[in-house]
Amino acid sequence: MSNEPILLGEALASFDALWSPRIVTRVNDYDVRIAKAEGEHVWHVHDDTDEFFLVLDGELRISLREPSGERTVLLPRGAVFTVPRGTEHRPYAPSGAAVLMFEPTGTPSTGDRHDEIPDHVDSTVGHVLGT
């Protein structure tokens, strides 16, 4: 990890892969990850952790399967949302988005339980920025 300031615009410009988060820094035992998103991710669940999203650019939608039924939250640029642990969810970005996430280090991007992973989704615990 860098001991220098990180410009998120430059960090995002350093890779093209979609749904393939890059770790820009760590805070205690949490990764701060950025990702480019377009199209659909995969329905998945993080059993033991919440998942925080901040939309840096574009628009992200997150479908949620909750006890009360299924719903979708719309996150425009600048919006934040936390998916509670144990909630099945699927992010998608019809027109593309850039997203910043906070997750405990080692959290798989496709969760602990998930549907079949499509080829365009990278199942990872995050890549170090620059790789």
| CA 39 to the chain's CA centroid | 13
- In order of 28, 48, 52, the CA distances from 104 in angstroms are 9, 10, 10
The better pLDDT of the pair 114, 44 is held by 44
Q: Please give the pLDDT value at position 115.
A: 65
Per-residue pLDDT band for 128 (boundaries 50, 70, 90) equals: confident
Sketch out the chain's domains with CATH numbers.
8-120 (2.60.120.10)
The better pLDDT of the pair 53, 113 is held by 53
The pLDDT tens digits of the residues spanning 4-52 come to 899 999 999 999 999 999 999 999 999 999 999 999 998 999 999 999 9
Q: Please give the pLDDT value at position 130.
A: 75
Query: Cβ-count burial of 52 within 10 angstroms (0-12 exposed, 13-18 middle, 19+ buried)?
Result: middle
Q: Please give the pLDDT value at position 116.
A: 73
Q: Please give the pLDDT value at position 96.
A: 96
Q: Could you tell me which residues come within 8 angstroms of residue 37 by beta carbon, excluding any fewer than 6 positions away?
A: 18, 19, 58, 60, 91, 92, 93, 96, 97, 98, 99
| CA 7 to the chain's CA centroid | 18
The pLDDT tens digits of the residues spanning 64-99 come to 999 999 999 999 999 999 999 999 999 999 999 999
